[in-house]
Each structure stands twice: as structure tokens, then as C-alpha cells.
Homo-oligomer: A and B are copies of this chain.
Amino acid sequence: MATDGESPVRLAAETWESLFRAQVAVMRKLQAGPAFRKVALNEYDVLFTLSRCPSGWLRLNELNDHVLLSQSSLSRLVERLEKRGLVARMAAPEDGRGVLLKLTDAGAELQKDIGREHVRDISGLLGPALTAAEQKELRRLTEKLRHSVGARH
């Protein structure tokens, strides 16, 4: 009758809390680095997502699925990035309501610069903490989690 000491609900809660705290701890360190002096985290996230987009152009609403921001905040964030000359807008060809975004050359270059530094910082944090095998397992589990959660209805 004894469970192995933990109900499924409690296990899930503890797992989430641990994941969340780890994310906070790493993020704290990353934000302290000089990489985020020029762009805020969410701004970098947008630049990064755009840099990974195969066609170069991405719809604003698709971008919104990636970032933990409300629609209105993202709208204004992009407005700021545009004013700084880091992204360019274009009306969507097939949808008169839509807006397409892409990095400008300056935006792409800034993303690459920050990205390089960012990747070094990350490596410096994860490398000493987890073996390669553990990192792979962590990547696998978080991918699985994300896809399960992201899968709608």
C-alpha cells in the first residue's frame, strides 16, 4: 500500500518547481553578463527567433507563440526594434491584416555578436554542472515536455 513515497501530483509539482528554479538561476547569471547590456532578454529572444527562421520573414503572431509576452507588448517591442533599425516590417502578401518581420543586416549582426557571447556564457554554466550525457537527457526531456504542452487541443 505504501507508494514509493510520492504521489504523482506531488512529483509533478516538485519537478516543475525544480525546472522553474533552475531556469531562474541560469537566467539570473545570463542577465548579469555583459551580453544583455544592449538588448533586453525578450528583445534578444525575438532577434534570435528571427535569425532561426528559414525564409527570413516571420509573422508577428507566430513570433508571439515563442515569446512569453502579451500580444500588445510584443507589438511595441517590435516597434522599438524597428526604430533601432534592427528589424524590418512588411505587409503580409496573402493577408492584409498581417505583418511580416525580418532582421536587418544590423540586426543580424547584433544577434550574432550577442549570440556568440551568450552561447559561451551558457556553456560555462551548463558545462560544469552536467555531463554531456546528462545534458542530452535534459534536452530530450524538456523537448518532450514542450511538445506535449505545446500540442494544442
Q: What is A's interface to B at a CB cutoff of 8 Å?
A: 8-16, 18-29, 66-68, 118-120, 122-123, 125-130, 132, 134-139, 141-146, 148-150, 152
Selected from B10, B12, B22, B127, the residue in CB contact (under 8 A) with A142 is: B22
By a CB distance below 8 angstroms, the chain B residues around A66 are 21, 24
Q: Is the interface of A mostly helix, strand, loop or mixed?
A: helix
- Copies of this chain present: 2
A120 to B12 CA separation, bound complex (whole angstroms): 9
By a CB distance below 8 angstroms, the chain B residues around A23 are 19-20, 23
By a CB distance below 8 angstroms, the chain B residues around A29 are 149, 152
Chain B minimum-CB-distance residue to A68 = B24
A22–B149 touching, CB < 8 Å = yes
Q: Give the Cβ gap from A79 to chain B, nearest Cβ, in Å.
A: 22
Q: Give the Cβ gap from A138 to chain B, nearest Cβ, in Å.
A: 5
A-B contact pairs, 8 of them (CB 8 A): A11-B136, A12-B125, A12-B127, A13-B118, A15-B135, A25-B145, A129-B145, A138-B145
A15 to B15 CA separation, bound complex (whole angstroms): 17
